[in-house]
Structure 1
Amino acid sequence: MQNLIPLLEKTFGYRSFRPGQQAIIEKIFEKKPVLGIMPTGGGKSICYQLPALALPGVTLVISPLIALMKDQVDSLQEMGIAAAYINSSLSQEQWQQRMQQARNGELKLLYVAPERLEAASFQQLLESLPIDLVAIDEAHCISQWGHDFRPSYLKIPELLQGLPASASVVALTATATPKVADDICQLLKIPAENRVQTGFARENLAFEVVKEQKDLYLQEYLKLNKGQAGIIYAATRKEVDRLFYILKDGGFSVGRYHGGLSEAERSSNQEAFLFDQRTVMIATNAFGMGINKSNVRFVIHDQIPGNLESYYQEAGRAGRDGLSSEAVLLFAPQDIQVQKFFIEQSQGTIAYQQQEYLKLREMEQYAHTQGCLQCYILHYFGEEAGDCGRCSNCLDQREQVEITLETQKILSCIKRMGERFGKGLVAQVLTGSKNQKVLQWHFETLPTYGLMKDWGQKELTQLIDYLTAEGYLIPSDGQFPTLKLANSGVEVLKGQRKVYRRQAQVRQLVADDALFERLRELRSDLAQQQKLPPYMIFSDKTLRELADKQPQNSLEFLAINGVGQNKLDKYGAVFIDLIQQSSQTE
């Protein structure tokens, strides 16, 4: 492994391995199949790209999206590494030429789409290649329990059987629950002891849930963080379009991306975002999986996603360069109905739909918890950790308000209703509604009827959601969950436990820095000349370190994280010149 450090430094500009990388690479060289579970931005690509340079043959990378492949290959070629991809965007002649390059030993990495594996003729072609390593990116796509199952991934085990025994296998993912991880290992025949999990925590990512006027919040947020790259996700095309026109009319630099636009418009908008010509992309979840843009400072969800796996993967597109970034969920109860509609329209089995309702409930409870947001996510992925100290709940220093009495009223009402109904009817009884169902069950005769008539039903259902998220109430499975008291809820009702609740403000992400902005401008100019996205030249993290350390010569420049020999040769002189000019004018 020590021999790989100089190669890591020279090629990628890093002087040491990140957590998990060394353990995974060691398994690869021991010819043991390995599953790597690392957070987005945790350095998964290095786990196969570095061995690919050290191994004599070719590394086959199975990757789910054309955009993702192109992005990776462009980045590798920019570092001087021989890489290519084969997918449906190529002509027959082009892909035959690339296969020939691989046979001749002219390529170190060859990216292919999983759909290619469905053709027996293509599998036969692969057998003619000197494959030393197979890397399966986004490995959760192989599991039917995952949030992004792709049937074409099920062809991978068959492919692996046809490869020489000397070929190593590495599967990588950022979003695998324990059940999904077990499924990946079973399908790819990876022993439990060959699972490397570094933890799902993102140390540089601050989570926040906001329950305020969404449009107003968004405009204030973008004003305060002007010039910072970000993604705003919405659940429907209609909402993407609505936000796009509101923010565009407000003078913000925005683009949009969804399946209702022409392919030309989608490509043009995506390119404008990647090349920093548009600061913010407003999109459905069709956007992002193939985007390796490292300087995304924030991801805002304007509507709640259907499950925590999707949320964490999409939120994780912020801060891939390791700098402080934010993931904000704008929550409104009515958005839950959009996701329920998607589940109903999914054509899945009853068991599948029940599973999706369960996942949606976990996502909704995330929006209501007042515990650490990152802890909530980590618990979902089977990991326990202390409070992150960064999320909106951890940072909320305001005095907590005691709501024990209000909680007792709610719990008492649920108990008196026989613990057989959902939050909507409970709220109607407490607010004194004369709804037909309330009267039908004679709930107007209960002592708790109208006990909270000063509350709005929406406000009250949000409080019930909070109590559920905090574990005082237990919802049943299914689309319309009924509520039962948990043991902690019984303690509150008996006066043995008190309940507290706290509420969100817009924060500026990055402090102004004149030299950093000049370095960004230079990077942008160089990117335009070379027709490359700016982050492929240097990440924001590298620019921040340049602004901080201000290297004055090649040796000092090479010591900056993210600067390899190839990047020094290409860009060192112009960046050092700008830094020297800047120090002279200060």
Structure 2
Amino acid sequence: MQNQTPETILKETFGYDQFRTGQLSVINKVLAHKHALAIMPTGGGKSITYQLPAMMFEGLTLVISPLISLMKDQVDGLNTLGIPATFLNSTVDGQEQAQRMSDLRHGVYKMLYVAPERLEVKSFFSFVQQLPVDLIAIDEAHVLSQWGHDFRPSYLNILPLLSEIPGNPAILGLTATATERVRENLQELLGVSDDDTVLTGFARDNLALKIVRNQDKRDYIAKYLRENADQTGIIYAATRKQVDELTAYLNKIGIHAARYHAGLSEKERQKQQEAFLYDESPVIVATNAFGMGINKPNVRYVIHYSVPGNIEAYYQEIGRAGRDGLPAEAILLYAPQDIHLQEFFVQKSEGSEAYKQNEYDKIREMNAYANTQTCLPRYLLQYFGETVTQDCGRCSNCLDERELVDVTVDAQKVLANVMRMNQRFGKTMVAKVLKGSNDASVKKYEYLRDLPTFGLMKERTLKDLTQFIDYLTADGYLRFEGAEYPVLKVTKLGADVLKGQGNVTKRLEKVRILRQSATQEGLKLSDDDNRLFAQLKEKRLALAREAGIPPFLIFSDKTLMAMAQNRPQTNEAFLAISGVGEKKFDIYHDDFAAVINDYVVS
């Protein structure tokens, strides 16, 4: 396909009429053999930026991917598109590995997936140096950066090796989560200029963000799953124990759920993952060990049972919902003890003090997000360095109908107390002084009981006070400073409030959040269309089981919905459906056309 244009390949192979934002720009940089960095949201189409050039290059595209458990799914997906691809990792036995390496030498494959650790094996790297590599794509590139949320020092070992691969191949780093600091670090590591960095923005307009506080988490999830019984979703928990207990609870009350965490055997993890990918288990409860690289497009919701340790991980995980562009939602179930759990993880880690400080800062950012009353997408986008002036109008904060009240006086009391305590104490001690507590921790500092702010808010509970402090921190009136034992500091915004130069408002505590379920919002299928859609899904599942691949690798739900709505009667009309390329048309047209025709004439 060296003589075809990217637009032609996009339509004929991938079945899409036009590129998404930023895709063609990245592809052109890759085709020019540049070093480039693509920062696109999860579901933004990063994979096409190296899969399409792989078809245009004469040589091989080497994809460095962090999780070997996902390589097979990615390769299966490419093969269904007619793109010859393979992988080499520890799951491939010796005889099969030798065959694949022989095929690679003879140019059978256009793409090869490997884990970075494999490149460090001298004999294997020597083999790679003999291949005609035109492009090296580094997926999940944020793991290279010490400031990233999933830094893996071993990844840095591969960087010097890349320059030793002959032929001056293009190098492309790809990630969905990069703050300005991470972006600059990746540019330096990969030798990428600003001009060759493509940042498409982090907005996901089809994803409704919601934060739920002060509710029984199990009851909430049980009710939500029953309301959305026909939808697919992921529930993330912080620990293996939480995963096991929640999965057992759901199955006990009649909600079939799979589970996934690193404590399960490889065989069990594979079984559970396949049950989810094949739509046999619509719900999976997992730790963050699950999901990186998962390309299941019809996930309608992601629920965080526990607060993640940082915004980058949260953003990446919620991005697994709605990858097909249809409406989806991400729900964060917030409890203050979740933050303490994340801090405990950092305390027990073996990282340097600088690393721990960075992790504590990220936990506080996550806590601030969970407590803000501003528009949630706007908060996230500003965190990633984007300037946003408009609210989304669909997140739980934007839809919150509780009365907005002026809390300036209470805010001034808290801010004044922090100043009176010389900005040397943490949240709990600040709350205790405001409450007028006489416990041992306060008595230890005798002068605190002599402060004019001691007992100034004694009518409030300690829980109320700490939540109010969290709110003031989230909206920028206070900030934390320090690592394991952070102290509160008054910001310039807070100082202005103390001087009477600004007001603070807050929603009343009575919870009333408008919540839409993930069911059929925005799908716009009639009852008749839905019946045909269900039959098309049945046919897809049967074909997937026969081929041994996940159903979504045949056609996405979005493509089947378009078939159900348009009911194409000619080859041209069928090919015009988004997601139907020539290869898939050749393989699947007759099966799905038969379902449509039978339904139309029945």
Match in the other structure for 1:377: 380
Match in the other structure for 2:408: 404
Distance 1:450 1:547, change over 3 A: farther
Say if 1:83 and 1:107, in contact at 8 Å, map to a contact too. yes
Equivalent of 2:45 in 43, 46, 50: 43
Q: 3-state DSSP class of the match of 1:394?
A: coil
Per-residue CA deviations over 1:467-506 (Å, capped at 9, x if unaligned) read 1010111221322222222232233334433222234344
Separation in 1, partners of 2:433, 2:565? 60
Determine if the alignment matches structure 1 residue 460 to structure 2 residue 465: yes
Say if 1:68 and 1:292, in contact at 8 Å, map to a contact too. no
Equivalent of 1:546 in 554, 557, 563: 563
Determine if the alignment matches structure 1 residue 479 to structure 2 residue 484: yes
Range that drifts further, 301-310 or 286-295: 286-295
TM-score in terms of structure 2 length: 0.93
Separation in 2, partners of 1:7, 1:411? 60
Match in the other structure for 2:219: 216
Per-residue CA deviations over 1:361-412 (Å, capped at 9, x if unaligned) read 1111110111121222222222222323332112324432332233233223
Separation in 2, partners of 1:268, 1:30? 42
Q: How many residues align?
A: 585
Equivalent of 2:118 in 99, 116, 131: 116
Range that drifts further, 504-513 or 218-227: 504-513
TM-score in terms of structure 1 length: 0.95
Per-residue CA deviations over 1:81-129 (Å, capped at 9, x if unaligned) read 2110011111233222212211211111111111111112111111111
Range that drifts further, 448-457 or 90-99: 448-457
Match in the other structure for 1:348: 351
Say if 1:66 and 1:290, in contact at 8 Å, map to a contact too. no
Separation in 1, partners of 2:321, 2:205? 12
Equivalent of 1:557 in 563, 574, 581: 574
Per-residue CA deviations over 1:514-555 (Å, capped at 9, x if unaligned) read 433333222222222222211111112212322333323221
Separation in 2, partners of 1:31, 1:151? 27
Say if 1:67 and 1:290, in contact at 8 Å, map to a contact too. no
* Correspondence list, 1:135-214, <5 A: 135-211=137-213, 212-214=215-217
Distance 1:450 1:45, change over 3 A: same
Unmatched segments (≥5 aa) in structure 2 = none
Separation in 2, partners of 1:83, 1:329? 38
Say if 1:58 and 1:110, in contact at 8 Å, map to a contact too. yes
Shift of 1:52: 0.8
1:410 is aligned with what amino acid?
A: V
Determine if the alignment matches structure 1 residue 509 to structure 2 residue 512: no
Match in the other structure for 2:23: 21
Equivalent of 1:424 in 418, 423, 428: 428
Q: 3-state DSSP class of the match of 2:128?
A: helix
Q: 3-state DSSP class of the match of 2:18?
A: coil
Determine if the alignment matches structure 1 residue 434 to structure 2 residue 451: no
* Correspondence list, 1:11-410, <5 A: 11-211=13-213, 212-386=215-389, 387-410=391-414
Per-residue CA deviations over 1:546-579 (Å, capped at 9, x if unaligned) read 2333323221121111111122222223323333
How much identity, in percent, do the aligned residues show? 53
Shift of 1:583: 4.3
Equivalent of 2:475 in 465, 470, 479: 470
Per-residue CA deviations over 1:410-450 (Å, capped at 9, x if unaligned) read 22322332322211112222223221222333433444333
Range that drifts further, 148-157 or 529-538: 148-157
Say if 2:133 and 2:167, in contact at 8 Å, map to a contact too. no
Separation in 1, partners of 2:154, 2:88? 16
Separation in 2, partners of 1:151, 1:265? 28
Unmatched segments (≥5 aa) in structure 1 = none
1:324 is aligned with what amino acid?
A: P
1:548 is aligned with what amino acid?
A: Q
Separation in 2, partners of 1:491, 1:160? 52
Say if 2:134 and 2:167, in contact at 8 Å, map to a contact too. no
1:509 is aligned with what amino acid?
A: A
Say if 2:302 and 2:320, in contact at 8 Å, map to a contact too. yes
Separation in 2, partners of 1:170, 1:451? 58
Say if 2:87 and 2:114, in contact at 8 Å, map to a contact too. yes
Per-residue CA deviations over 1:304-324 (Å, capped at 9, x if unaligned) read 111111111111111111111
Per-residue CA deviations over 1:234-268 (Å, capped at 9, x if unaligned) read 11111111111111112112011112222222221
2:502 is aligned with what amino acid?
A: R
Say if 1:224 and 1:507, in contact at 8 Å, map to a contact too. no
Q: 3-state DSSP class of the match of 1:259?
A: coil
Say if 2:399 and 2:514, in contact at 8 Å, map to a contact too. no
Separation in 1, partners of 2:570, 2:178? 44
Range that drifts further, 62-71 or 475-484: 475-484
Shift of 1:233: 0.7
Match in the other structure for 1:521: 538
Say if 1:308 and 1:363, in contact at 8 Å, map to a contact too. yes
Separation in 1, partners of 2:209, 2:236? 15
Q: 3-state DSSP class of the match of 1:395?
A: coil
Separation in 1, partners of 2:97, 2:478? 58
Say if 1:220 and 1:506, in contact at 8 Å, map to a contact too. no
Distance 1:425 1:166, change over 3 A: closer
Separation in 2, partners of 1:505, 1:388? 15
Determine if the alignment matches structure 1 residue 575 to structure 2 residue 592: yes
